[in-house]
């Protein structure tokens, strides 16, 4: 894993955006894996700016989102479909037919999950998957105890995730208990993963993901098995890491050709 520590979430997000812009300029029909939550908001704002002010062209890009709440359609204000439209898709020139998210309204859930996996495969797989991190170490909605080989499927949210996302719904009791999410195995199939984590509430999960054992108890730790992961943190999120000095040393010696 390449661990990059920045002085602020803003600086980290600008750096993250540069990974996307370089990819899209090199490969116009790139397949992006996108995430929701508060963490990627500054990244999405920067991608919108790059499109508006520097002509970053998303017209041939495809995007797959990690997850969606079960039984919420795109019209629901807390659905991830709505989130993506408002925070990113409405501000770039991606074709609406090229943005995909699991269908929370699907009647046959196993069929919907298999269809989603097949669509990702048919597009040639995900080039760059951005990931936030749950305070309990989840990625997507792969809660602790998720199989590290899991594929897109239904999951039951943990109490801690329900609590963390309650504000989006106006109370814990209104948060759906079930979700559809890409599996850990689906995420590991991406060609490159870019993990973002900001703030002290993520410090413990970050330390487990990077320096702890690979365990289903902290699904993000499975990323240690992936050959190309970049983790971009702000200082508070990096606070529990043991080898910070080494990560900074590596980053300061990064050869130009390696980006
Ligand atoms: C949510 C999402 C994840 C997200 C994580 C962290 O529940 N399903 O994709 O990365 O939790 O959320 P936030 O970025 O708001 O801290």
State yes or no: pLDDT of 223 exceeds 70.
Answer: yes
Positive or negative, the CA dihedral 190, 137, 98, 102 is positive
pLDDT value of residue 255: 79
State yes or no: pLDDT of 132 exceeds 70.
Answer: yes
Helix (H, G, I), strand (E, B) or coil at 39: coil
Q: Is 234 a catalytic residue?
A: no
- Token pair of 172 as six digits: 């814990």
Alpha carbons 233 and 256: distance in angstroms, whole number: 21
- Average pLDDT, stretch 128-137? 97
- Average pLDDT, stretch 4-24? 98
The model carries a pTM of: 0.97
Give me the catalytic one of 51, 65, 67, 112: 67
Q: Is 107 a catalytic residue?
A: no
Alpha carbons 194 and 87: distance in angstroms, whole number: 19
pLDDT tens, position by position, 141-159 = 999 999 999 999 999 999 9
State yes or no: pLDDT of 34 exceeds 90.
Answer: yes
State yes or no: pLDDT of 257 exceeds 70.
Answer: no
pLDDT value of residue 235: 98
List phi, psi (to 5°) of 5: -110, 125
| In the chain, % of residues over pLDDT 70 | 99
Residue 45, number of CB atoms within 10 A of its CB: 17
Give me the catalytic one of 136, 142, 165, 234: 136
Alpha carbons 92 and 86: distance in angstroms, whole number: 11
Distances (CA, A) of 159 to 166, 172, 210: 10, 9, 24
Q: Is 226 a catalytic residue?
A: no
Among 12, 33, 36, residue to substitute to test ligand 1 (most atoms within 8 Å of Cβ) = 36
pLDDT value of residue 241: 98
Cα-to-centroid distance, 99 and ligand 1 (Å):
19
Q: How confident is the model at residue 256 (pLDDT cuts 50, 70, 90)?
A: confident
Give one word for 85, left, alpha or beta, with left for phi > 0 and alpha for psi -120 to 50: alpha
Give me the catalytic one of 51, 143, 165, 234: 143
Helix (H, G, I), strand (E, B) or coil at 164: helix
- Average pLDDT, stretch 186-215? 98
């Amino acid at each position: 894993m390449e661990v990059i520590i920045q002085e602020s979430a803003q600086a980290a997000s600008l750096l993250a955006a540069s990974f996307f812009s370089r990819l899209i300029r090199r490969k116009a029909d790139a397949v992006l894996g996108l995430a929701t939550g508060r963490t990627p908001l500054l990244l999405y704002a920067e991608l919108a700016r790059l499109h508006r002010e520097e002509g970053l062209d998303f017209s041939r890009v495809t995007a797959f989102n990690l997850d969606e709440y079960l039984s919420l359609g795109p019209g629901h204000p807390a659905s991830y479909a709505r989130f993506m439209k408002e925070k990113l898709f409405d501000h770039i020139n991606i074709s609406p037919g090229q943005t995909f998210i699991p269908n929370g309204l699907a009647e046959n859930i196993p069929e919907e999950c298999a269809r989603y996996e097949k669509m990702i495969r048919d597009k040639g797989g995900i080039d760059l998957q951005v990931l936030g991190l749950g305070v309990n170490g989840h990625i997507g909605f792969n809660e602790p105890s998720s199989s590290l080989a899991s594929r897109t499927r239904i999951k039951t949210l943990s109490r801690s995730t329900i609590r963390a996302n309650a504000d989006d719904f106006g109370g814990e009791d209104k948060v759906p208990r079930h979700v559809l999410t890409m599996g850990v195995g689906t995420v590991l199939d991406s060609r490159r993963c870019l993990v973002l984590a900001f703030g002290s509430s993520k410090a413990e999960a970050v330390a487990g993901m990077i320096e702890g054992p690979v365990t289903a108890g902290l699904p993000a730790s499975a990323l240690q098995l992936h050959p190309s992961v970049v983790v971009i943190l702000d200082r508070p999120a990096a606070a529990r890491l043991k080898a910070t000095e080494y990560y900074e040393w590596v980053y300061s010696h990064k050869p130009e050709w390696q980006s």
